[in-house]
Amino acid sequence: MLTVLKEARMADGKLLRVTRFRPPGEYPLAMWRYLMEAFKCDDHRRNFIQHAYWRLDYRERLDGHYADYTEDNFYCAQVDDVYAASLWFGYSKRSGRGNFGNVYTMPAYRRRGLMTELLLPCVEEFAASQAKMLCCSSGNPYAVVSYCKAGFRLIYGGEKGPLCLMKTDEAPNFLAAAEQAFAGKSIALLRPGHPGDQFDCDKFLYYTPSIYQGGRHVRRGPAAQTPDYRFALQEVIQGNGVQLVAENAAGTIVGYAHALRLQDYGILDFTVHGDYIDAATELIQATASAFKAKMNMSMFFFAAPTDQEKISLVERSGGIPAGKLPGALGSGDRVADLLVFKIDG
C-alpha cells in the first residue's frame, strides 16, 4: 500500500511530499524507476554484479513476493513531484530482526533536509511495528552522527561501522541480545532458507563478534560472486541451487550454507557461528546432498591456506583436495594460493 505521510511547502516554496510504500500493492512506475536508478548511483560501476543482485532483491520486495516473510517499508521524498530521496527498512515477520539502509539523496537535492524528513517517520514506524531491531553499516562518520541522533548505536563503538536501532525490552543492546540468542552449541533444526531469513543471516549473525571480529565470513575465488545470503537467494530463486539454514533450540539461525550453479560448475560455501562449529558438518552435508539431488552435479569449495577452520569442516564433510592455483589470490608481494576442494554430495 502506498501512503502519503506528509505534504508541505519547503523554505524555497517547492512542494515536499513524503510517501511510504509497504508491499504488497500497486506503486507508481516513477517510484520504481527512481529506486532502480538511485541505488548505488554514485558508484554504479563498482561491484556492479552485486548491485545487480540488490536490484533483483528490490524487485522481489516491491512486487510483494516476500510479503509472507518480511515487512518492507520504502520511504521516498518528492520535490515538486520529482523523486529526490529514499531509504528503506525491512524486517523478518518470524524473528523481528531487520535491516535499514539504501539511504540516498539525488545530488541536485542534497543539503535540503530531505533525509531528516524520511528518518523521522522511519524511526516512528519502527517503534510502532513488530520489529525488534534494525541493523546497518556505514563508513561515513557524518552519516553515523545522523543515524545516532535518530536512535541507532554503533555496535562496537568508534566513529563508523555496524549500527543497530533496537527495542530494549528484551536486551539492553545488540551484543547482549546476540549473547542470549546464540547460547548453545548444537543445531536443533536444518531447513531450506527463505526470504525472511536474510536479515537474520546477513545482519544479526554477521555482526556477532564470532563472525564480524572472528574472520569467519570469507568467500574465495569464484565464490565471491555471492558473498552473502541475499545474493545467493537470488540464484536459488532463479533455480540455480539450494540454500539451507541451521537453527539452535531457541530458533536463532546460527549458520547457513548454499550450493549454487554459477556458470558451468557448482560452488558451495557457508557461514557458521563459532560456537556451533562442531555441528557445522550437518549443515554442509545436508546442503551438498540437496544440491546433488536437485542439480545432479558435484560442487567445489574454494579457500585460502589461512582458512583452516573452514577447510577442516569441508574435509570432515566429505570434501577432498582437487587442485591449487598458485598465487591466485591477492596482488603484488601479498599473494596466496587458491585451494580447491571437490564435494560429491
Flag whether pLDDT at 39 surpasses 80: no
- Note whether 6 and 17 are within 8 A (CB): yes
The percent of residues above 70 in pLDDT, for the chain, comes to 98
What the chain holds in terms of domains, given with CATH numbers, is: 2-130 (3.40.630.30), 132-181 (no CATH), 184-343 (3.40.630.30)
Confidence of residue 50 (pLDDT cuts 50, 70, 90): confident
* pTM for the whole structure: 0.95
How high is the mean pLDDT of the chain?
A: 96
Confidence of residue 337 (pLDDT cuts 50, 70, 90): very high
C-alpha to C-alpha distance for 23 and 3, rounded to whole angstroms = 11
In the chain, at which residue ranges do the beta strands (DSSP E only) sit? 2-9, 15-21, 70-79, 82-92, 97-105, 133-138, 153-154, 161-166, 189-192, 241-247, 253-262, 265-272, 299-303, 320-331, 334-343
pLDDT tens digit sequence for 203-253:
999 999 999 999 999 999 999 999 999 999 999 999 999 999 999 999 999
Q: What is the pLDDT of residue 310?
A: 98
pLDDT at 43 over 80: no
Q: Write the pLDDT tens digit of every residue in 301-331.
A: 999 999 999 999 999 999 999 999 999 999 8
How confident is the model over 130-165, as pLDDT tens digits? 999 999 999 999 999 999 999 999 999 999 999 999
Q: Is the pLDDT of residue 40 over 90?
A: no
Q: Give exposure, 4-31, as e/b (b: 16+ Cβ within 10 Å).
A: ebeeeeeeeeeebbbbbbbbeeebeeeb
The Cα 142–Cα 105 span in angstroms is: 14
